[in-house]
Structure 1
């Protein structure tokens, strides 16, 4: 694992996993929200967002966590590993609630971006039905060369981490 793309619904644990893997593997971590939004949480222009991702993926080693489906081809084509956190919506909502309790909203130095809106909650609730098929299509079209870890529970995420910590790679 030298170039890792992590995707999944909000609250699935992308940032926590990215930070853990980055520390474990000695890889720099980029959170897509840091590229997508400016300091005032305004969306940066699309060409700037795409250019920033292209700059990251040209590096030899990286982890990128985030969901922008429009730019998945950029990340997946360059990744040697794709981790798709396909957790149930209620598990993700619980993750969002815990994040709110822990961080009290806003933007934090460890990559956590805690901004809850009704649209965001709808996105999380409908992720498996509306967005997961698009993620899988992008993986098939642009990431067929990469090792894929598709996990559907927190237990499997923990098994993935444990496997990496013990030198294994199996989920």
Structure 2
């Protein structure tokens, strides 16, 4: 586990899991939102976004969390591990709302911007049904060489962290 892509709906726990894995495995963590938006929270041009991802994943050690399906092939092709967080949509919705209460609609320390719109809520609630099949197809096409870890609950994510914590060699090449 040296090059890890963490995927899932908004509120699924991608940022928290990526941060915990980064700490345990001593890997640098990048959140796609940090690459997708400029400091004023404007969307950067697609070429800039994909070029930044290509530079990032060219490295030997990284964790990237985020959901851009349009550029997932870049991350999947280089990842040795792909983690898909797939909790029930209501769990994701609760995660989005919890984040709103904690950060009050602003940008938090990890660079992720808390922005809830009706479109965001629709996306979160329809992710499993509408988006996840396309994510899994992209992983199959571009990341079939990687270990795929599909987690369907926060408990699964905690168990993964505990397994890595008790197996010190888990993150070594």
Distance 1:93 1:108 in 2: 18
Check whether the contact 1:15–1:111 (CA below 8 A) recurs between aligned residues: no
Alpha carbons 1:4, 1:82 under 8 Å: kept: yes
Tell me what 1:89 maps to. 89
For the 8 Å contact 2:31–2:110, the answer to whether it is kept is no
State how far apart, in whole Å, the 1-side matches of 2:157 and 2:112 are: 18
Q: CA RMSD in A?
A: 1.1
* Length-normalised TM-score, structure 2: 0.95
Q: Corresponding residue for 1:53?
A: 53
What is aligned with 1:72?
72
Q: State TM-score, norm by structure 1.
A: 0.96
2:134 maps to what in 1? 134
Task: Check conservation: 1:22, 1:29, Cα contact below 8 A.
Answer: yes
In structure 1, how many angstroms separate the alpha carbons of the residues matched to 2:95 and 2:111? 15
- Unpaired runs of 5+ in structure 1? none
| Deviation beyond 3 Å, 4+ runs, structure 1 | none
CA distance in structure 2 between the aligned counterparts of 1:94 and 1:108, rounded to whole angstroms = 18
> May I ask how many residue pairs the two structures share in their alignment?
169
- Within 2, Cα distance between the matches of 1:6 and 1:57? 13
| Separation in structure 2 between the aligned mates of residue 112 and residue 9 of structure 1, nearest angstrom | 14
Q: Distance in 1 between matches of 2:38 and 2:89?
A: 28
Give the alignment of 1:1-171 within 5 angstroms: 1-167=1-167
Q: Identify unmatched segments of 5+ residues in structure 2.
A: none
